[in-house]
Amino acid sequence: MAPEPEVVEGALAPDFELPSSAGGKVKLSSLRGKNVVLYFYPQDDTPGCTKEACSFRDNLPKFSGLDAVVLGISKDSLESHRKFIDKYSLNFALLSDENLEAHRLYGTWKLKNNYGKTYWGTERSTFVIGPDGRVKRVFRKVKVDGHEAEVIQSLGA
């Protein structure tokens, strides 16, 4: 596979349209005028992904106060997303990227290596997009603990 494009701070955020757990589809460019927090995560209902989703859930009022929309993206189906949302009372939309369209646009579908085994998977990443549609901050290889605070801080900057 060819290397994915690198999304850099200051660049126009690549546009996409994906099915949403909230119904219908979400087109990124339709959210212009708001801050958008796009976070890519490997899989619904796994320990790190659950912890990350719950930290966004618990801090959603802070994000809303900064006029920010939080969107989680994984390759899971909408049905999987609905179960994940129901189980953890998530209060924001999850987008289903089963064809890896957004993953490829944002360069988050990576060859990974775990205990000598290589495989393709999602690199946990977050992109903060400003009201003008430009990328304000890029967080790659995210460590879940304290990440939501970094994201909130980047929105306030």
Residues with active-site annotation = 49
Total number of residues shown for the chain = 157
Please, what is the angle between helix 78-88 and helix 47-58, to 10°? Answer: 60
Exposure letters 32-50 (e unless 16+ CB within 10 A, then b):
eeebbbbbbbbebeeeebb
Give the separation between CA 136 and CA 143, rounded to whole angstroms.
Answer: 19
Give the separation between CA 126 and CA 4, rounded to whole angstroms.
Answer: 16
Helix (H, G, I), strand (E, B) or coil at 65: helix
